[in-house]
Structure 1
Amino acid sequence: MAKIKKRSWANASGKHEAWQLDFTDRFGKRHREQFSLKRDAETRLGELQGTTRAGTYRALADKSDVAAACKAFCEYMTERADRKEKVTETYLRTTRQHCENYIDPLNEYVLRRPGIVRKDTINFKGGIGSIKLSDLTAARVIKFRDDMRKHGAGIVTTRRVLGTLSRILKHAVESDMATMNVAKGIRVIGTRDEDSERVTPPAKADLAALLKAAQPDFKIRIQFAAATGLRASEQWALKWSRVDLQAGKVTVDSRVDAFGNIDVTKSSAGMRTVPIGKAIVEQLAAWRDRSKQKENDGFVFPDSRGGFTRHTNYMKRNWTPLFIAADVEPIGWHALRHYAVSTWIEAGLQPKAVQTLAGHASYAITMNRYGHLFPSDDHQSAFDKIAATLAKTE
């Protein structure tokens, strides 16, 4: 039930009047709001009648701001991680960074584990942490997106931050903190070059130069990555129990993050079996013979202590210096995955097979990134025949 009534009072400064709106939400809790103009009170009454009838009114939305929603989401995801519910430490840290650097850079709200110190921020001034959830609109999120872009955030970063914000608001809706997820569906459109997903694999000559300059123990890691297309997190998590040298195949079903947490692959499509050629099988067999981690539960590519390879440190110590020794332009380790996919396409594998072997979640991902690499000879031949047929009709 909701009603509007006029209130009048007098004090030393004179006579005053206001319009008071009393209502009860769907949980039976009473609320009181005051307005200086009657029409504002009536507008608010209309909003409440619609939202309470639809069951969408959230009392907490009038009290909680975006920063509170961020905090609640971080706490929730931390609890899920503690319960081993497929939430990695890397995901938690990325979420906190998005909140600290962009969504609410002015507040110290993020739940941190002991010993984790906040790093310097990027000095972004367009945060939305202080906005009440009841006042947050799609238009305000769009302005937030545009402010990020003006500040210099790339299209990938902007998309990821908006994705984090959308998940935060989704959790807020589920927790009765917000009425709706206004960040859902907000698009980020970049320039033509910026928005392209097409990849360019490394040149064969450059890879040959890198392999020639690499030490034997590092060379096998590069060759394996360039042949199987495994992501770094998948390669460093690989154990001998998942390598079948007799059949010449590798089973991919796990990944490791920067903190040593072993988890399932990035998506269900990531769980796959990848064939390995005879030359790589022979090199892996020789590698296992001289490795200290020969047992089935040992890492195929361990660090010097027998544990998982810490990707960032390994790249700094081995990958980056290799470009100087090989005298080639630097590329990222992930480019080896692109190289593998390009060789599969060159060898004649069909797009669907490439999608499966690469562990892509959808066919669209494969074609958006690698479609331009598939041979077009058949297409050209078809158009030549069409043109020839039309020419005969002249």
Structure 2
Amino acid sequence: MTNMNATIYEKHGKYQISISWTVNGKRFRKSKATGLPVKGNKRKAQAMADAFMAELESKVSDGYTDVLFSDYMKQWLEDVKFSISESTYEEYYRQIHNRICPWFAAQGLRLCDLKAYHIDKFYKLKMKNDKVSAKTVLRYHANIRKALQRAVKLDMIPTNPADRVDLPKVKKFRGSYYTPEELQKLFECSKGTRFETVILLAGYLGVRQGEACGLRWKDVDFEKNTVSICGSLKAHDLYKDLYYGETKTEMSYRTLPMPEPLARYLKQLRKKQLEQKMMGGESYHRKWDGYVCVDQMGDIINPKYISRYFADLLAKNNLRRIRFHDLRHSCATLLLENGATLKQVQEWLGHHSYVVTADTYGHVLVESKKTMAETMSNLLGSSNAV
């Protein structure tokens, strides 16, 4: 980088500042109005020019580019595209193109001019005006920080302004869950509906909705009485299509023993689907042949629509309102209340770390241990030792 040059010049009777410099053979120039009348203010204007040049020198490095921050974010996403999964890319694309970039583009903020207070203002406005949650803000921040960290690494900016932003505190979320009696009633109400199989898989095995919809018959072993979770059905928002992809994390690849009622149901379902395929003939849809969660004409159950239809099913049958994902919580809670350890539940659910399981379900163990305290009270309550 060549040395910067600062000059002052007259425009409409007032002093203007012009700073010029060269990086890697490319010439840059920035101008700024002083607001000072020309007469009697030359020294003040020069002092302002020197201060402006010092400010720019603290920002400019060998990799400097005069790019808008919004454009840089989009380019960063394309740069990391092939190092992340397709579903993760889609999630990042929605955040960056639909939420982050529009606001920063409207401000006209360049990467080199971005400050911590700009990012802080964006988060606060999103929470106030768009009512986004603190958890969503943390997702925005994760991508903004990673993108800026790469800019620091490439010498495009000297420091990462995202590191100086105070983040909102996320309220700890506890999902609802059904009792065994409520689950049994739900199973009865779902009989014969389009979503019966998905509901049974989620209730008995605690699988995610994409894992349930993506289950294939070759992953069901009736001899060993197991179900292997090898992938997930995902909605491709960018191209308006469904595809079979990776599970959420590496730990999500798992093999689970089938409870006897579920194994019996799946055997009957397999037989019924073979009959429906023969009866449907050429009208039977073959695209999703081999998948468990298909309707009588072979159409796959789209995970995007499950939550809406699940809510309708609960309302129609006067069942307590929970989210479909809470069937996963229900499964985990029942396992913990009946003797399973957090480590066992982590492996069953396919959480990527023990910490996630402990943070989500630690309170369940506290509740279940109350009975142990009562047992000790009954056994030792009459002791004179206390």
Please classify the TM superposition score into its range, dividing by the shorter chain length.
Answer: 0.7 to 0.9
User: Match of 1:103, as an amino acid?
Assistant: I
- Structure 2 match to 1:200: 176
Pairs within 5 Å for 1:36-115: 37-43=45-51, 56-60=61-65, 63-73=66-76, 75-76=78-79, 80=82, 86-88=85-87, 91-99=88-96, 101-105=98-102
Measure the CA separation in 2 of the matches of 1:303 and 1:237: 14
Measure the CA separation in 1 of the matches of 2:187 and 2:343: 30
CA offsets, 1:339-387, max 9 Å, x none? 11112112211111111111111111111111111222487379969x9
TM-aligned CA distance change 1:241 to 1:4, over 3 Å: closer
User: Match of 2:85, as an amino acid?
Assistant: K
TM-aligned CA distance change 1:170 to 1:307, over 3 Å: farther
User: Match of 2:254, as an amino acid?
Assistant: R
* 1:86 CA drift (Å): 2.2
**Kept in 2: contact 1:260–1:308 (CA 8 A):** no
* 1:299 CA drift (Å): 0.4
Measure the CA separation in 2 of the matches of 1:326 and 1:73: 49
Measure the CA separation in 2 of the matches of 1:319 and 1:5: 66
**3-state DSSP of counterpart to 1:59:** coil
Say if 2:145 is the partner of 1:166. yes
Q: Report how many residues are paired.
A: 355
TM-aligned CA distance change 1:341 to 1:8, over 3 Å: closer
Pairs within 5 Å for 1:354-393: 354-374=345-365, 375-377=368-370, 380=373, 392=385
Pairs within 5 Å for 1:1-394: 2-3=2-3, 7=7, 23-25=21-23, 27=24, 29-33=26-30, 37-43=45-51, 56-60=61-65, 63-73=66-76, 75-76=78-79, 80=82, 86-88=85-87, 91-99=88-96, 101-105=98-102, 130-151=108-129, 152-170=131-149, 178-183=157-162, 186=165, 188-190=167-169, 195-216=171-192, 218-258=195-235, 259-292=241-274, 298-316=290-308, 318-374=309-365, 375-377=368-370, 380=373, 392=385
* 1:181 CA drift (Å): 4.2
* 1:42 CA drift (Å): 4.4
Measure the CA separation in 2 of the matches of 1:157 and 1:337: 22
Give 5+ residue unaligned stretches, structure 2: 35-44, 236-240, 279-285
CA offsets, 1:38-73, max 9 Å, x none? 445545665666667xxx55421xx21222123324
* Identity fraction in percent: 22
Measure the CA separation in 2 of the matches of 1:305 and 1:132: 54
CA offsets, 1:4-45, max 9 Å, x none? 66646678x669685x655444x3545455666444554566
**Kept in 2: contact 1:301–1:309 (CA 8 A):** yes
Q: Does 150-159 or 292-301 show the bigger shift?
A: 292-301
- Structure 1 match to 2:283: none
Measure the CA separation in 2 of the matches of 1:369 and 1:313: 26
TM-aligned CA distance change 1:21 to 1:158, over 3 Å: closer
Q: Does 271-280 or 150-159 show the bigger shift?
A: 150-159
- Structure 2 match to 1:115: none
**3-state DSSP of counterpart to 1:291:** helix
TM-aligned CA distance change 1:175 to 1:289, over 3 Å: farther
Measure the CA separation in 2 of the matches of 1:44 and 1:383: 74
Measure the CA separation in 2 of the matches of 1:185 and 1:304: 56
Measure the CA separation in 1 of the matches of 2:196 and 2:14: 86
Measure the CA separation in 2 of the matches of 1:201 and 1:15: 70
Q: Does 347-356 or 370-379 show the bigger shift?
A: 370-379
Measure the CA separation in 1 of the matches of 2:97 and 2:16: 43
* 1:231 CA drift (Å): 0.3
Measure the CA separation in 1 of the matches of 2:51 and 2:4: 11
**3-state DSSP of counterpart to 2:255:** strand
* 1:235 CA drift (Å): 0.9
User: Match of 1:222, as an amino acid?
Assistant: I
TM-aligned CA distance change 1:275 to 1:8, over 3 Å: closer
**Kept in 2: contact 1:249–1:276 (CA 8 A):** yes
* 1:75 CA drift (Å): 4.5
CA offsets, 1:135-165, max 9 Å, x none? 2122321221111111122223322333343
